[in-house]
Structure 1
Amino acid sequence: MAKSALDKDLKKVVRIEHATQDLTRSLTAPGLLILFLIGAVALASLSVASGPLAYLVVIAAVIAAYMALSIGANDVANNMGPAVGSRALTMGSAIAIAAVCEAAGALIAGGDVVRTISRDLLRPDAALPAIHFVLVMSAALLAAAAWIHLATFLGAPVSTTHSVIGGVIGAGVAAAGVKMVVWPVIGTIAASWVVSPVMGGLIAAALLGFIKWRILFQKDKVAAARRWVPVMVALMASVFAMYLATKGLSRVWKAPVSLTLVLGAAAFAAAYFASQPWMQVRGRRMENRRKDVSALFTLPLICSAALLSFAHGANDVANAVGPLAAIVSTAATGETSPDRVELPFWILLIGAVGISLGLALFGPKLIRTVGEKITKMDAIRAFCVALSAGITVLVASALGLPISSTHTAIGAIFGVGYLREFLTNKGVPNPAVRPRTLFLEPEKLNKTPEQAIANFRKRERRKLVRRQHVLGIVAAWVISVPATAMLAGLFYAVMAAFAG
């Protein structure tokens, strides 16, 4: 009897412990968010001298922190989704690697796009008071953050760059009319809706096709892998060396074109010769199976995902802190003169921490969408997606074409998915066009009509890309700019009314 009572008491204690742990986990995210926002307020308060616009800078710092959280929750999934979907990384490992690389990229090389966000979109004249320029940028940030937050909740990867640009345009028009906006930028953005996913998809499909024909479709896959995997690894090293030189490190070091090409060639040679002995050792333990060949791409995939995260942190942190930098500059000088925008370390710190925290707390949903729900990933397909993203950015930059990293990555995923679907269904009859012999001359097939129909249905075309995600994602891309523009215009009107 005493033992039974003791067991009941112990079970109650265990239930209380579990309930306490669940409560602690549920309070962790709100607690971290509150601490982060308080930290942003403290940094802004300590870094900005007192003045008539100082309180607006503090408010803008909170909005920028919200924007950074939204970017981390949505945009980073493009880099880590394929790696998680292919099982090359666990969700926890992907978040840890991405958080470190994103923060490092933002703090070491971040801010090169601040000029575009804070200067190239708007040309405010002297008639626009400083306070209204501050309100324009604050409304743009808030609208973009709210839109990205909604897209993340709905599971749609959107371009954070396009979101903040739409916000700046909408608030600018609300403040001073259409003359305030540099409208050719809109044409560039619209072009990137097509250029980015198409280029990303074609390059990713070409890479996957090359690997399939040169390695996976060969009779001796091990020998083919020994020959071509070092070449693919070297290509990855070369592309990302040039990618970092032209994009990832452009704020701290601008390499000339000739030096960038030399770096790419040197990285190719170094990676090729370094991977040869590694490939020979792995090759001796491999079986002549696709699974074993696919495992060879796991380490290169992880490296490419980390490098993409570093470059993303360096470039896209400006989407969160670019308008804030313009606000701080205007508050300090009292003039709407974006030509003199600087990027203090405390502003970069808000962007870096916010992106990493947003990824850790809210990123898994979009990571699963990108990595698992569009098409099935393995290490080879995910490697092609990551390498395609780097190549697309390099090619587009060289040709002067507009590009979106989000659209490029999603386009690459669709590219490998549709190639797989095409190869899988090659030679399979289209169920929409049934051959006449199926019904009129089944005796020629040595089958009864019922057997012929059953056999035909077994061979119907497989769909390896989920079509419902195509329409949803494309719709979110198209409406990002007008949606954030309208939101920003509304937010500006409200803010201007309160500001008097």
Structure 2
Amino acid sequence: MNAELIVLLVVVVTALGFDFTNGFHDTGNAMATSIATGALKPKVAVALSAILNLVGAFLSVEVAATVAKGIVNLGEVSGEALLIIVFAGLVGGIIWNLATWLLGIPSSSSHALFGGLIGAAIAGLGMNGVEWSGVLSKVIIPALLAPVVAGLVAATGTWLIYRITSGVRDKTKESGFRLGQVGSASLVSLAHGTNDAQKTMGVIFLALVAHGTINADADMPFWVKLTCALAIALGTYLGGWRVIRTLGKGLVEIAAPQGMAAEASSAAIILTSSHLGLPLSTTHVATGSILG
């Protein structure tokens, strides 16, 4: 086994480790509001989220393509040097994920990964090592807009919900919307799989291109989709209870109608972004929706 193949294997395993931490870090995105309002019991919520993350990971590869080709300038580096840059970026992302998870901070796993890759590319290649146009249009601008748009959509949705159901008794309204939250929270989990699992797929694809196993125009290998889907689903099932506590109770106290509006808003924005190949922070979208 040559040295470059060993480096490739290390990068793939590290990428799946990042995917796993992404799963338990971001469980709160989908399920915090449902658990906080009593719509779902914690164990049921996390198991449901894990299954739907697994399914969602197979629905799209647009975000994976953005990560694979839109962050690191492939014209400036290849081979083992590119593998080392990818590995360094992953290590940075994992360390940030673990630190913020321990503190219960709902930070962005996605931006931790992008920051790691950008930093490693600059350190190894200089400023020309980064595809700055892709980073600006598909990472920075969506990062700034997503939580604001999510907050506005969720606020509008909540206002409409209370307006439409103003004549319904509070007890009936609360129980009905708790049932609705099961559907909206499930949709967020599905959306999370379409966006966040794709990021790790993109990184592994990048590593395979660097090794020469596939070329940059090849389709995403099935085994990459499967392993990334399983890693994020397992991480989701084990759960990020510290982050769930912060999102569910640490920001605001919410009722079931607000929770459903927040979840529906998050799901709509994440699914739209996945379709457009925009690797959003699902954490920031969910946080913006909850605040809205």
TM-score using structure 1 length:
0.54
Instruction: Provide the aligned length of Structure 1 versus Structure 2.
Output: 291
Q: After superposition, where does 1:18-97 map in structure 2 within 5 Å?
A: 51-97=2-48
The corresponding residue for 2:244 is: 367
Among 207, 210, 217, the residue aligned to 2:160: 210
C-alpha contact 1:204 1:384 (8 A) present in aligned 2: yes
**What letter matches 2:234 in structure 1?**
L
| Matching residue within 326, 329, 352 for 2:229 | 352
Q: Which residue of 1 aligns with 2:73?
A: 123
* Alignment of 1:408 onto 2:290: no
Structure 1 position 97, deviation (Å): 0.1
Q: Is the 8 A contact 1:121 1:181 kept in 2?
A: yes
In structure 2, runs of 5+ residues without a counterpart are: none
Q: Report sequence identity in percent.
A: 29
Q: CA RMSD in A?
A: 2.5
Taking structure 1 as reference, are residues 149 and 86 closer, same or farther at Cα in structure 2, changes over 3 Å only?
same
Question: Match for residue 126 of structure 2?
Answer: 177
CA distance in 2, matches of 1:392, 1:65: 26
Could you tell me how far apart the structure 1 residues matched to 2:281 and 2:107 are?
10
The secondary structure found in structure 2 opposite 1:109 is coil
Larger relative contact order (Cα-Cα within 8 Å, sequence gap ≥ 6): 2
How many angstroms does 1:58 deviate by? 1.5
Task: Give the secondary structure class of the aligned counterpart of 1:76.
Answer: helix
Code of the residue aligned with 1:318 in structure 2: it is: Q
SS at match of 2:85: helix
Equivalent positions of 1:209-248 (< 5 A) are 209-216=159-166, 218=167, 221=168
Partner of residue 315 from structure 1, selected from 192, 195, 205: 195
Aligned positions of 1:129-140 closer than 5 A: 129-140=78-89
Shift of 1:209: 1.1
Picking from 323, 328, 333, the partner of 2:208 is 328
Q: 2:103 touches 2:242 (CA, 8 Å); kept in 1?
A: no
Alpha-carbon deviation of 1:66? Answer: 1.4
After superposition, the Cα gap between the structure-2 partners of 1:113 and 1:373, relative to the gap in structure 1 and judged at 3 Å, is same
Deviation at 1:345, TM superposition (A): 2.6
Structure number with greater Rg is: 1
Cα separation, partners in 2 of 1:135 and 1:399, compared to 1, 3 Å: closer
**Structure 1 equivalent of residue 147 of structure 2:** 197
1:112 equivalent in alignment to 2:71: no
Q: Paired residue for 2:171, among 291, 311, 320? A: 291
Q: Give the 3-state SS of the residue equivalent to 2:165 in structure 1.
A: helix
SS of the residue 2:179 aligns to: helix
2:259 maps to: 382
* Cα 1:192–1:324 shift into 2, 3 Å: same
Contact 1:192 1:403 in 2 (8 A): yes
CA 1:69 to 1:398, structure 2 compared with 1: closer, same or farther past 3 Å?
A: closer
Amino acid at match of 1:340: D
Amino acid at match of 2:56: G
**1:187 and 2:64 equivalent?**
no
Alpha-carbon distance change, 90 to 158 in structure 1, aligned in 2, over 3 angstroms: same
Kept in 1, the 8 Å contact 2:157–2:261? The answer is yes
Structure 2 contact 17–231 (Cα < 8 Å) conserved: yes
Gaps of 5+ in 1: 1-49, 222-288, 416-500
Q: Note closer, same or farther for the CA distance 1:304–1:322 as it changes in structure 2 (3 Å cut).
A: same
